[in-house]
Chains A and B, each alone.
Chain A
Amino acid sequence: MISARRLVLAAAALASVAFGAGAQRPSAPALTAADLPVQLAPATRQAIARLGDSLRAVRLPDEPLYAKAAEGVLKGAEDARIIVAVRALARELGEARAALGAAADDADLVAAASALHVGATPAMLTRLQDTHRAATNGATSLATPLVALADLLTRRVPAPAAAAAIDSLVARRAPAGDFAALRAAVERDIDAGRAPEASVLQRTQVLLRGLDSRRTP
């Protein structure tokens, strides 16, 4: 029997072909309210467009809202659920700005909003931002640590343990590959039945020792 999800995907594909939304371009230009999927009801499109206007007015990125709506349409969500998700994202973008400050770029804000969505607190983000500034003087993006933090939280690592692990790596100026390695190792441990908190603690210590050994002349 054909699943409902497959029917939704097939319908989305047909609608995309029929209306030319997101034509065969390798990387489409920035999304605007005009790009909202035609499958959404006019009232839903208007509501999301108004939210986008509100974000732009305070210099927050509005493109993630339209991408979120398109994602919801592809995944077969109803309009009401899409609006709830878009409103939550708009609110989290505002909280991320408050936590990271006006200097945060769009990638940092979106990554921070994602971390807030899965259980990070604004205080954790602020502390991470402070550590990052002290360690790198803002020379590198905070998005990589934030993405790793969101991933750990998604895998049910307790928020204080996940934030402490990421914070310690940021303080030691760990390269992006170390955050990826931490994420992958914790994922493997959890799949093998290990407790998430114990895994993240032990894996972080291993990475910190590796950093020390690489930096020791």
Chain B
Amino acid sequence: MSHHEAGQDAIERDGEESSIERVAAELRAPVPIRAEFRAGLLRGVSMLAPPGSGAETERVVRRWRLRPLTAIAAGLACAIAGGLLTALLLGRPYAPPSSAALTDLTATMPLPGESAAASGGHATVRFVFVAPYASRVSLVGDFNRWNPTAMPMNRSTDGRAWLIDVPLAPGRHVYAFIVDGDLAPDPAAPRAGDDDFGVPSSVVLVGGAAKS
């Protein structure tokens, strides 16, 4: 490299450095802020309480802490309201009978080997199912060929149970109830042992106490 070229490089380096310094000086220079804006900002800052202390801070913190609880409570309230609304719109949900109600009604259920008034070789058996919140209950069994439309049950006068009287031939009969579209065994009667299809059924015996 010649002296001339070396001098040229030095000049260019000096030029670059002076440009950088000039830009840096411009960036360091304070931004001009209007006097009234600066005064307002300082006034606002001076009114704030120091962080981590004071009643206002505690109130704000408590409010933030309480917000999740408020959200959970609001969610629960919405769920309850939605459930009630759904129940009202779709009909009252099926509630399984209480054990007390079943105890009350067991005496009216056909017991194995017992039946009501006999007539013409048949005996009338009263079937009872406690389902105060059901909207439709029917009886299915071997005596109606498991036909879900053959024997709709009637609601009792007090609205708690569903009843039907069926004349049955002597023998062992397997049956179940259809409660709002779902099969249910009779909770007050013996279970049929031969539940081959996943849904239990019940048994009633007609004329079982004495040989027919």
Contacts and interface: CB of A to CB of B under 8 A. Distances in A.
Interface of A: 3, 5-6, 9-10, 12-13, 16-17, 21-28, 31, 35, 37, 63-64, 67-68, 70-77, 81-82, 84-85, 88-89, 105-107, 110-111, 113-115, 117-118, 138-141, 143-144, 147-148, 150-151, 153-155, 175-177, 179-180, 183-184, 188
B148 A16 contact: yes
A76 B143 CA distance: 19
Contacts of A85: 194, 196-197
17 contacts: A3-B182, A9-B181, A13-B149, A22-B144, A24-B149, A27-B144, A64-B142, A72-B196, A81-B196, A84-B196, A106-B171, A141-B212, A143-B113, A144-B112, A144-B209, A150-B191, A176-B114
Interface of A is mostly: helix
Report the contact-size class of chain B (Cβ under 8 Å from the partner).
35 or more
Interface string B110-142: 011110000000100000000000000000101
B205 A147 contact: yes
Contact of B210 (A64, A139, A151, A184): A139
Given A26-B167, A107-B171, A176-B205, 8 more contacts: A13-B147, A31-B145, A107-B208, A113-B194, A114-B192, A114-B194, A117-B193, A150-B192
B113 A154 contact: no
B176 to A, nearest CB: 8
Contacts, number: 184
A77 B197 contact: yes
Nearest to A70: B146
Given A77-B197, A110-B171, A141-B208, A151 B150 contact: no
Nearest to A143: B208
Nearest to B192: A114
- The 3 A-B pairs with the shortest beta carbon distances in the complex, nearest first, are A176-B113, A22-B145, A150-B193
Chain A CB within 10 Å, residue with most, of B142, B196, B203: B196
Contact of A88 (B111, B142, B196, B200): B196
Contacts of A12: 146-148
Nearest to B113: A176
A70 B142 contact: yes
A143 B190 contact: no
Contact of B145 (A21, A143, A175): A21
Contact of A70 (B106, B145, B194): B145
Contacts of A115: 193
A151 B196 contact: no
B101 to A, nearest CB: 14
Nearest to B149: A13
